[in-house]
Amino acid sequence: MESNGYSIVLEDVSKDYDKSTNVIKNMNLKIYPGELLVFLGPSGCGKSTTLRMIAGLEDPTGGKIIINNKDSRNLNNKQRSIAMVFQDYALYPNMTVYQNLEYALKVHRVPKEERKQRLEKIMESLNLSKYKDRFPAELSGGQKQRVALGRGMAKKTNIFLLDEPLSNIDVQLREKARDQLLQLHNQNGQTILYVTHDQQEAMALGDRIAVINNGIVQMIDTPENVYHNPSNLFVAKFVGSPQINVIQVEYNDSNLITLDGMKLISNYKNIVQKDKRLLLGIRPENISISEKQETESIPVKIDAVTDYGKFKQLTIKVSPEVNLKALTPSWNSNAATAYMKFDQDCILLFDKNTGTRID
């Protein structure tokens, strides 16, 4: 089944609850049919509000939302063809698992036989057959989440909205749940919008990620680009763990020099910049550390070593003002000093005031 999804376009959408506070500010967004787009951002950034507006639960105070090339204001819920999974799952506590899945179909008079067939398949694939006669109160968090997912699937809609559906279940179960979701996406080809504040989840799931902050889409792109090629400092800082290192530098004759005078990079490519002062971002895994001095490597002090098993994180002091974190697969030395080198291709430069990328 190819491309069962509807496209969604947001045109200058804004939302304020009272006249003064803008939750969403003139948001423009194009979501392709059948893609899995993740809204990623800190809590209160407006990502859930955007989702709720697409779902029709809130009216935008400005702009319009276009679903499948039609203005959503002229669509009823059926024409929108939307299913949604809520953070608290919103299972009807007075109905069993089966009744929860069946309810909307029953109200909309889907024939009983078809209902049964459809639901049995879904319960099978989500491992729910055993629990079909249980009430939500008798289910674990993971089971509830699966019921909620199943209820959304049962409707066979063209758009599937998920609002932090995995934030209430155990970490161990999340990976499995993510796989289930991807499988579902591959099978049905619905357009999926997925809201999360968890960057790892966003990376694992999204065809594209829309990073949102303060009601503004900061960047929308593939996980790879969001990580390696962030459009601004917020995106760079929000995505990646441990966080990206940010150093105040001056650009001087194609050299990048820290404020206390240490030359970090020489012969850097030419950039056009009025202000000499910039912010340099470098992800911890792009700093290589070695015990031996190499050309252009910089001597540093090693303050701490944190062992994460898979890799080690070094806290290093470059100069009194500059402390960095670096990741390395192995570090067995006890030496207090070492030599550091930046991977020049991975250096990100940001405007000091606006935080936008300038390289």
167 near another protein, judged by CB under 8 A: no
237 near another protein, judged by CB under 8 A: no
Give the sign of the dihedral formed by CA 179, CA 184, CA 190, CA 193. Answer: negative
Residue selected from 60, 142, 150, 206 as contacting another protein according to rule CB under 8 A: 60
Burial of 43 (0-12, 13-18, 19+ CB in 10 A): exposed
Residue selected from 10, 181, 202, 220 as contacting another protein according to rule CB under 8 A: 220
Residue selected from 30, 42, 57, 112 as contacting another protein according to rule CB under 8 A: 57
**Are the C-beta atoms of 246 and 233 separated by less than 8 Å?**
yes
Cα distance between residue 193 and residue 161, in whole Å: 5
231 near another protein, judged by CB under 8 A: yes
> Residue 212 — φ and ψ, nearest 5°?
-120, 135
Say which residue the tokens 């070492």 belong to.
Answer: 338
Query: CB of residue 186 vs another protein: minimum separation in angstroms?
Result: 24
| CA distances, 216 to each of 15, 16, 53, 164, 212 (Å) | 11, 13, 15, 19, 6
32 near another protein, judged by CB under 8 A: no
216 near another protein, judged by CB under 8 A: yes
**Torsion of Cα atoms, 210 then 211 then 217 then 221, to 10°:** -40
359 near another protein, judged by CB under 8 A: no
Q: Which amino acid does the sequence have at 162?
A: L
66 near another protein, judged by CB under 8 A: no
Task: Return the range that interacts with another protein (CB under 8 A); candidates 23-31, 124-132, 165-173, 304-312.
Answer: 23-31
Cα distance between residue 131 and residue 259, in whole Å: 63
> What is the enclosing helix (H) or strand (E) of 50?
helix 47-55
Residues 67-96 that bind another protein (CB under 8 A): 71, 73-74, 76-78, 82-84, 86-90, 92-94
DSSP string, 289-330: EESS--TT-EEEEEEEEEE-SSSEEEEEEEETTEEEEEEES-
Angle separating helix axes 141-154 and 171-188, nearest 10 degrees: 10
Residue with smaller CB distance to another protein, 95 or 257: 95
Cα distance between residue 211 and residue 46, in whole Å: 11
| x/- map, 242-281, another protein, by CB under 8 A | ----------------------------------------
135 near another protein, judged by CB under 8 A: no
Residue with smaller CB distance to another protein, 67 or 82: 82
294 near another protein, judged by CB under 8 A: no
Residue with smaller CB distance to another protein, 33 or 63: 63
* Token reading at 18: 């009272």
Binding residue count for another protein, defined by CB under 8 A: 47
Residue selected from 128, 219, 247, 322 as contacting another protein according to rule CB under 8 A: 219
Query: CB of residue 282 vs another protein: minimum separation in angstroms?
Result: 19
Interacting residue ranges for another protein, rule: CB under 8 A: 12, 14, 25-28, 52, 55-57, 59-64, 71, 73-74, 76-78, 82-84, 86-90, 92-94, 103-104, 107-108, 155, 216-220, 231-232, 356-357
